[in-house]
Amino acid sequence: MVKHEEVNFARNDQSNTTMIPGRFARAMRTNLIWQFIRFVIINLKMLVVVSKSH
Amino acid sequence: MARVVILGGGVSGHTAATFAAKWLGNSHEVVVVTPNAKWNWIPSNIWVGVGQMSKEEVTFDLDPVYKKAGITYKQAKAVSLNPEGSANETQPFVTIEYTGQGKEGESEEVTYDYVINATGPKLNFGATPGLGEGSQLGEHTVSVCTADHAEHASHKLQESIEKMKKGERQKFLIGTGHGMCTCQGAAFEYIFNVEHEIKKAGVRDMADMKWISNESFLGDFGMGGLHMKVGGYVVSSKIFSESLYAERGVDWMVGAHVSKVEAGSIDYELLDGSTGTENFDFAMLIPPFAGVGLKAYGKDGADITATIFAPNGFMKVDANYAAGTYENWKASDWPRTYQNPSYSNMFACGIAFAPPHIISKPMSSPNGTPINPTPPRTGMPSGIIGKAVAHSVCDLITKGEGAHLHEASMAEMGAACVASAGKGLTTGTAAAMTVFPVVPDFEKYPGTGRDTDYTFGEIGLAGHWIKHILHHLFMYKAQLKPGWTLVPE
Ligand SMILES: Cc1cc2nc3c(=O)[nH]c(=O)nc-3n(C[C@H](O)[C@H](O)[C@H](O)COP(=O)(O)OP(=O)(O)OC[C@H]3O[C@@H](n4cnc5c(N)ncnc54)[C@H](O)[C@@H]3O)c2cc1C
């Protein structure tokens, strides 16, 4: 059976040469605990970029 | 008492005006000339464009805010500058034409000691036949550049969704409407929001989606692309972007100059010189940007527009406009103080300043058609530059002509961008990105031109939360609510 992430590779040559996230990577994108951790980290990183820019 | 006149009350001008008023207090006058009655948090227009926010949620009335700040507000558009005055006026002045406050159509000469040009872009629909010149809204296509445009886009999108629900296939074409456009990031965010809405409506299988853009590769973003830290790798934005499109089943056409728009189709020319036609049922194409067309006159009435403004209508500042060809471009070509080289009491900030050159590699088709993105000047740089310019002007007023000018080079500052895909707090995934610096500096960062510790991209729900927070923080800050100065630009 074709996995969800494999369907779009077959659409055309453009899509065939890219990378498409699998089930685990997709799940982590909406996993509330993991995303909360990432939220804190991304905010801290953005604050560093903001402070380096002023 | 000195008078500072700020032309344009958008992201950059509003930042400059509010800080100037705070720093100068009552001893000097700050005047804002801007044609709209409302301020608009433009990044959230994307959500208006898919019906997830109303126009009212992304705008507020300027009048009470300027009253509170002690700023003189003239709802008018600037028409011309007389930096040396005129035969009848010894002071420099700007000629304005009212668009509101019961004085519509009336002209006035507003004298100034310092002027800050923050008039942003003219949405140059006229550059592509059929794109929407005249209507200023989009003719056969839609735009999301203003809250009104976005509302119009949302209605058209709903019509297409209804058609798909009735079994009619729809072709969506989203991207840039000319070979010299900028603002790819906004179109990029919009296409993923549209895809999300269509999926939510249960009709994704009825939609064919295509991206069309003047970038020579996907993920150029007008910055020549970027290399970012993603999942432990340093990855080109080309790979990052292609993955997003492929995952969502969106096709793409790059290196494209849209040469004509008609009902249901566009004509295009590609970087290889070939031409073609693409059909659509729904199209959102960003128009190219130009300066707003301010004129300038000498004391004797002679037209000196070309001395002050570049041919694209943006104001000349302390940039190196003689950098020559791509191989010679340097980070140091980019302006630092945004002071006009001819008149030291004139500054420009945000999109209104003339960049020294583009950032992406210049490209044109064998037919000589330039097809390359022009440089983005996004919200964060526009805000930071507006604040730095206001600081310089305030110091010139309070400390005298010799005061040190504040600097804010785009080659030394970063930008943070969140491209949402939906608005939900538990669904949808945004791409959160930062880039440092905006203009690559290959002398300082020989590998990729940027600091890969501070240039990163990540996809996930956290980006959505950040986008929501940014919306509320910037609407709060712009309304000068308690503690507004603590919110960084
Ligand atoms: C749909 C969309 C989404 C975006 N999303 C993001 C994002 O997520 N993140 C980000 O960082 N940036 C984003 N941007 C870019 C950001 O909005 C701009 O960088 C920013 O608005 C530029 O600020 P500005 O003050 O130079 O121009 P503007 O904000 O456009 O302000 C210019 C002002 O000048 C006024 N004006 C025009 N003509 C005259 C005249 N003749 N006289 C006086 N006033 C005049 C205009 O009415 C306006 O109020 C987005 C842009 C768009 C279009």
Confidence of residue B429 (pLDDT cuts 50, 70, 90): confident
pLDDT for B285 equals 96
Indicate yes or no: pTM above 0.90.
yes
* Tokens linked to B263: 């009902």
Residues 21-50 of A with CB under 8 A from B: 21, 28-30, 32, 34-36, 38-39, 42-43, 45-46, 48-50
Average of pLDDT values for B9-19?
98
Q: Which residues of A touch B380 (CB under 8 A)?
A: 50, 53
Split at pLDDT 50, 70, 90, the class of B55 is very high
> Which residue's structure tokens are 């603002």?
B183
In this predicted structure, what is the pLDDT of residue A52?
A: 87
The answer on pLDDT for A1 being more than 80 is no
What are the tens digits of pLDDT across the range A21-33? Answer: 999 999 999 999 9
Q: Is the CB of B358 under 6 A from ligand 1?
A: no
CA of B17 vs chain A CAs: smallest distance (Å): 18
pLDDT tens readout for residues B146-173? 999 999 999 999 999 999 999 999 999 9
Q: Give domain B3-123+290-399's CATH superfamily.
A: FAD/NAD(P)-binding domain (3.50.50.60)
Ligand 1 atom nearest residue B376's Cα:
19
User: What pLDDT is recorded for position B300?
Assistant: 95
Residue B270 pLDDT exceeds 90: yes
Whole-number Å distance, alpha carbon B41 to ligand 1 midpoint, is: 9
Is there a contact between A30 and B249 if contact means CB atoms under 8 Å apart?
Answer: no
CB-nearest to B243 from A20, A51, A52 is A20
CA B11–ligand 1 middle distance (angstroms): 6
- Looking at residues B439-455, what average pLDDT do you find? 94
Interface confidence (ipTM) of the complex:
0.94
Listed by start position, the domains of chain B span 3-123+290-399
The pLDDT score that the predictor gives to residue B271 is 97
Per-residue confidence (pLDDT) for residue A7, from 0 to 100: 86
Determine whether the shortest distance from the Cβ of B186 to ligand 1 is under 6 A. yes
Q: What is the mean pLDDT of residues B261-285?
A: 97
Choice from B19, B42, B149 to test ligand 1 binding pocket (greatest atom count within 8 A of CB): B42
Smallest CA–CA distance, residue B473 to chain A, in Å, is 14
Q: Is B183 in the pocket of ligand 1 (CB under 6 A)?
A: yes
Residue B286 alpha carbon, nearest atom of ligand 1:
53
Question: What is the SS3 assignment for chain B?
Answer: CCEEEEECCCHHHHHHHHHHHHHHHHHCEEEEEECCCEEECHHHHHHHCCCCCCHHHHEEEHHHHHHHHCCEEEEEEEEEEECCCCCCCCCCEEEEEECCCCCCCCEEEEECCEEEECCCCEECHHHCCCCCCCCCCCCCCECCCCHHHHHHHHHHHHHHHHHHHCCCCEEEEEEECCCCCCCHHHHHHHHHHHHHHHHHCCCHHHEEEEEECCCCCCCCCCCCCCEEEECCEEEEHHHHHHHHHHHCCCEEECCEEEEEEECCEEEEEECCCCEEEEECCEEEEECCEECCCCEEECCCCCECHHHHECCCCCECCCCCCCCCCHHHCCHHHCCCCCECCCCCCEEECHHHECCCCCCCCCCECCCCCECCCCCCCCHHHHHHHHHHHHHHHHHHHHHCCCCCCCCCCCCCCCEEEEECCCCCCCCCCEEEEEECCCCCCCCCCCCCCCCCCCCEEEEEHHHHHHHHHHHHHHHHHHCCCCCHHHCCC
Q: Which residue has a Cα nearest atom 44 of ligand 1?
A: B8
Residue B134, pLDDT above cutoff 80: no
Interchain pair B488, A15: CB under 8 A: no
The answer on pLDDT for B301 being more than 90 is yes
To test the pocket of ligand 1, the residue of B119, B182, B389 to mutate (highest count of ligand atoms within 8 Å of its CB) is: B119
Q: Looking at beta carbons, which residues of chain B come within 8 Å of A17?
A: 242
Q: Do B246 and A18 touch (CB under 8 A)?
A: yes
**B12 touches ligand 1 (CB under 6 Å):** yes
CA A28 to chain B, closest CA, distance in angstroms equals 8
